Structure 1
Amino acid sequence: MKNSVDFIGINHYSTTYAKDCTNSSCSATENRAIQGFVGTVGERDGVLIGEITAMGGSYVVPRGMQEIANHIKIQYSNKPMFITENGYSSPDVREQRVIELMNDVKRVEFHARYLAHLAKSIREGADVRGYFIWSLMDCYQWNLGYNVRFGLYYVDRQTLTRIPKLSARWYKNFLTNNSKHVYK
């Protein structure tokens, strides 16, 4: 098994605190079969770890990206890493508020901040080979259906028309201006 992994894929959306549930019961809604005796919480001493997103229990904590990449670098002998999913969830809104979905400033800020922390980790030696945004288009989320939107492109569910959001234009600009000399 040693050295049988070519790369590590990381899906990273949020960071939370760990809560010891060994000698006490955590929330009845938590799934002990999955979480064991550790719960995850988004606040400590009444202070949230970051801004909460439309995906309940998910917080904006950009430093978490740097911390997980650095952890993988140390723990797994700096195997090549790909950030296979990273995204910001915004709530779905009624048609009259589509303009708000199109001007997704918080998604732009999310990716800019997460990428800045990922860049710090790369400068510290983490072997990060790729970064993939979740998701290209608004899509059906397996546990929340159409109640949240992650996409860089707005999808009109009646016509299936796809329209680039502010974040799509920002990301195109980011890639154009920050990858000119990569792998030439």
Structure 2
Amino acid sequence: MGWNIDPSGLEELLVRSHEEFGLPLAVTENGAAFPDRVEDGAVHDDARVAYLHRHFVAAHRAMERGADLRGFFVWSLLDNFEWSFGFTKRFGIVRVDYDTQNRLVKDSGRWFSELARTGRVGEYNVVE
């Protein structure tokens, strides 16, 4: 979408908010739209996995620096209608076929499932 992606900004925001206000924090929406394509019955959205990985690592660093982060919600579970872009941008970790309403868990959804199951972001090779 042409938006700047800077996970260090999330880390700094969480730390600064903790230092200034001392309240528990939650990230309520974090995600990005990328051009997803279904290929051989799967959505290999490596850019979204890399995005989420980098932001969860940044959040973890903020916690190591004292931020009391209690929740982190990915935007969004499902592809959906975006107020300024309609159905043209896909943010979900689960793809929605708008014609049939079928759902397909993307690679990012599988990655997030593993994170939720283990509590670990694991290693991920980010291609810059």
TM-score w.r.t. length of structure 1: 0.61
1:71 Cα deviation from its structure 2 partner: 1.3
Q: CA RMSD in A?
A: 1.7
Flag as ranges the 4+ runs of structure 1 deviating above 3 A. Answer: none
Aligned to 1:99: 39
- For 2:34 and 2:46, the matched residues in 1 are separated by 11
- Mapping of 1:1-184 within 5 angstroms? 54=1, 56=2, 58-76=3-21, 78-91=22-35, 97-99=37-39, 102-178=43-119
In the alignment, structure 1 segments of 5+ residues that lack a partner are 1-53, 180-184
Q: Which residue identity lines up with residue 38 of structure 2 in the other structure?
A: V
Letter of the 1:64 counterpart: G
Residue type of the alignment partner of 1:98: V
Q: Which has the larger helix fraction?
A: 2
Question: Which protein has the larger Cα radius of gyration, Structure 1 or Structure 2?
Answer: 1
What percent of counterpart residues are identical? 34
What is the SS of the residue equivalent to 1:91? coil
Query: How much does 1:91 deviate?
Result: 3.4
Quote the residue 1:7 is aligned against: none
Do the aligned residues in 2 keep the contact of 1:138 with 1:155 (CA within 8 Å)? yes
Larger relative strand fraction: 1
Q: Shift in Å at residue 99 of structure 1?
A: 2.2
